[in-house]
Structure 1
């Protein structure tokens, strides 16, 4: 090999080691690797920066915005609320989680799906006395299963497809991967409900990640012409709310205490709840319930984009010893109080009639910029935004799903290419106010995009220096010139790399290697390209292998060994199925 080839391998090895050690952010590691190759003259500026204009990477960015539109309108919340129900066993609960997760993840990026399901499933598990540790790994794995079923199911598929198009080949179809993704998903579900369920830990205590020691008192109003009118408390899902308790109902000036599960809801009923912040965030996502704001719905009318903020009142607040209504808190601060906590005690009476005291903790509904404007205000001891608390715009949920459907149909039928469909869909989400510009910007995971773009540079260096061909020869040496065995080795190598570094980086680095292997064998490269897609996405054996695994590790109180015990056999099982099926569908 030439000096440039050895230098490329050395730089890539250093990058891999740094990624595994996690001492530096992954986007910084990959950017430094790209800059090193550019500085050493291995790559020209055009080659080094080509990844930033790759179709796959831009499509990933657009689909982040599309997914944000589904999330911001409460589209996923509606699905979870109607589909989860009340399971009779742990296996039934796992199935109820995995089926909608797989379906949604086939068309929406996995990360926002899991991020939305996660708090809902924790609350749901508490209501139904289920062990969180039995449910969250199936949630993450279900999202991975779904991502392997379509071209847009995961960013890895889009990235590899972008590399394939860059080679002058025709793009894969929307549902081409379903020939492999659906069979492996079915086998994965069966495994998790049988063998995997026994291997999953059973830890009785739920995670404390979403716990909050403050107990708030909050009032909600049943919306006129909303879906909850006429439903009983039980039918509306307001009886078993985990850490949230329905204290009473105020109706036409009278109080209904000790509310019965069969009590029917009427328009303008004021429901008084007591509970923690996480439970209130979930309550705020129930369609047909609106916060009983201290100054009507003024904030909602003025600013559709709102979020929850916690503040602790200081002794310098000018509204001390005034009621929230008389003090006109909304007019004074531009935010509405929706809940109050005081010394861990449950407060009585109407929210508007509560007299403000020093050290009261208030839960406010405010614009996103409110936190920055009041962070150092002397009126408050603490100002803190509540994560993932944006109020869903349910009136646009159906429209958001229609936009996603249009993307899938237009790309599948060939009306427009995948990139154009994704960009038009992202524009439609913003233009129709399904997602605001601010939320759209926040939804794009720029560190992930930087990792993807810089990975292209490292993969290109493997090609131009001939390193990929050398590695391909090493891969070929063990199985010889038997394509099926080479395919298995390629799948295994990709899977191992994905377990320790990001899936997109592993796919991009393996792409030129498998192309070189196919060329040396004089066979079609398509089976190898599909194997890289599958192996890079189907990563179950470590929490590092996929972002959704990391997301559930904390709330599920999982240990590293839990993923190895449950995920490694699944990796082997699905890898074997993929290696057998892929050449049958895409012959050598």
Structure 2
């Protein structure tokens, strides 16, 4: 008592104080200069070996005791707290590059807690105050959404996850795995349609508590659902109005004299170009009825053409606007548009040639 967290060696990078409880008051990520008082309770994050050191040295004059088993109800309450975990990327122009962690002053300035740092495919869980940050480091931090927003709004770091992270329920993992395996096996043996099995599987994981109903609802990407239904409506309209058949006929006219294999290669190329500027979902839904019409004009099985659209629609490498992850990397890495074109166009050509050669081997262009 009377000493600060730093003086008590409870704020040294290895041992991190997450919470301090004093009577009815509670502090999240208290500052290193916070003075301890008799009766204070601390929640710390550290290695098990460091806990052994705490017990053996009796740092703050109180003998460490083994905590009682956690109450499941208390754990569920903690899961529902408005605390999120996000990853933040150190940008190329960040003022914190080549500076120690202590300069971020996370606890005092933002009230957030640094859990770990990820660098070059390796996680560094025990980060001391003298740890030097580098461009490309990913910081795993914990705090409230407001605190995280203030932390990332300074322009030095970029949040690369949205913080929608739920506490893991490892005890429910066997149930979830068994459910997935059961759905796949029953579908493989045609016990019942995959649609019905999927609904049953979803009900099982909800009833058994693998996932809460509110988590299931929040995990649905509603903008994607709306986009798919909207594109399906456009696709049906294109088919019923004859627009798809007209576009297919135009494409066949352009490629007049081409063999079915060369027409497949042309379809993959056109789809690959379109997906660089339109979302992959929109491209897939819009192009599918057109290529089915092309196959019917040629009198061959339409499946190779549909598979070609599927592969090409997902091959967005040459622009930063074709796919969400491209845009994220473009912003966070301070890349130029030409960087994507220089590296992405060769990748597009590789996918185009590979798909054009291999798709007919697995889905032959058989006459109807």
Q: Does 1:308 align with 2:83?
A: yes
Residue of structure 1 in register with 2:74 after alignment: 299
Once the two structures are superposed, the pairs formed by residues 207-286 of structure 1 within 5 Å of their partners are 219-220=43-44, 250-251=54-55, 254-255=58-59, 268=66
CA distance in 2, matches of 1:429, 1:220: 33
After TM superposition, give the deviation of residue 552 of structure 1 in Å.
3.9
The CA deviation string for residues 114-147 of structure 1, in whole angstroms up to 9 with x for no partner, is xxxxxxxxxxxxxxxxxxxxxxxxxxxxxxxxxx
Gaps of 5+ in 2: 1-28, 33-41, 86-105, 114-141, 147-161
After TM superposition, give the deviation of residue 251 of structure 1 in Å.
2.1
Residue of structure 1 in register with 2:294 after alignment: 517
2:327 to 550, 571, 574: 550
1:451 to 216, 227, 252: 227
Residue of structure 2 in register with 1:567 after alignment: 344
Q: Is this contact kept in 1: 2:296–2:302, CA < 8 A?
A: yes
Instruction: Report the structure, 1 or 2, having the larger helix content.
Output: 1
Q: Is this contact kept in 2: 1:463–1:512, CA < 8 A?
A: yes
Q: Does 1:414 align with 2:218?
A: no
SS of the counterpart of 1:428? helix
Residue of structure 2 in register with 1:468 after alignment: 244
Residue of structure 1 in register with 2:280 after alignment: 503
Q: Does 1:533 align with 2:337?
A: no
Asked which structure has the greater RCO (Cα within 8 Å, sep 6+), the reply is 1
After TM superposition, give the deviation of residue 309 of structure 1 in Å.
6.3
Q: Does 1:486 align with 2:263?
A: yes
TM-score, scaled to structure 1: 0.39
SS of the counterpart of 1:532? helix
Residue of structure 1 in register with 2:253 after alignment: 477
After TM superposition, give the deviation of residue 467 of structure 1 in Å.
1.5
Q: Is this contact kept in 1: 2:111–2:143, CA < 8 A?
A: no
Aligned residues: 260
After TM superposition, give the deviation of residue 550 of structure 1 in Å.
3.3
1:388 to 152, 161, 164: 164
Q: Is this contact kept in 2: 1:215–1:344, CA < 8 A?
A: no
Residue of structure 2 in register with 1:356 after alignment: none
SS of the counterpart of 1:517? helix
CA distance in 2, matches of 1:397, 1:497: 41
CA distance in 2, matches of 1:582, 1:346: 51
Once the two structures are superposed, the pairs formed by residues 52-451 of structure 1 within 5 Å of their partners are 219-220=43-44, 250-251=54-55, 254-255=58-59, 268=66, 299-300=74-75, 302=77, 304-308=79-83, 341-342=107-108, 387-451=163-227
CA distance in 2, matches of 1:503, 1:418: 24
Worse overlay, 542-551 or 421-430: 542-551
Residues 529 and 557 of structure 1, relative CA distance in 2, 3 Å threshold:
same
SS of the counterpart of 1:539? coil
After TM superposition, give the deviation of residue 440 of structure 1 in Å.
0.8
The CA deviation string for residues 7-56 of structure 1, in whole angstroms up to 9 with x for no partner, is xxxxxxxxxxxxxxxxxxxxxxxxxxxxxxxxxxxxxxxxxxxxxxxxxx
Q: Is this contact kept in 2: 1:307–1:391, CA < 8 A?
A: no
Q: Is this contact kept in 2: 1:216–1:346, CA < 8 A?
A: no
CA distance in 1, matches of 2:111, 2:52: 16
Gaps of 5+ in 1: 1-213, 223-227, 234-245, 257-265, 270-289, 311-339, 348-362, 372-385
SS of the counterpart of 2:59? strand
Q: Is this contact kept in 2: 1:527–1:587, CA < 8 A?
A: yes
Larger-Rg structure: 2
Residues 252 and 268 of structure 1, relative CA distance in 2, 3 Å threshold:
farther
After TM superposition, give the deviation of residue 528 of structure 1 in Å.
0.7
Q: Is this contact kept in 1: 2:291–2:305, CA < 8 A?
A: yes
After TM superposition, give the deviation of residue 247 of structure 1 in Å.
11
TM-score, scaled to structure 2: 0.59
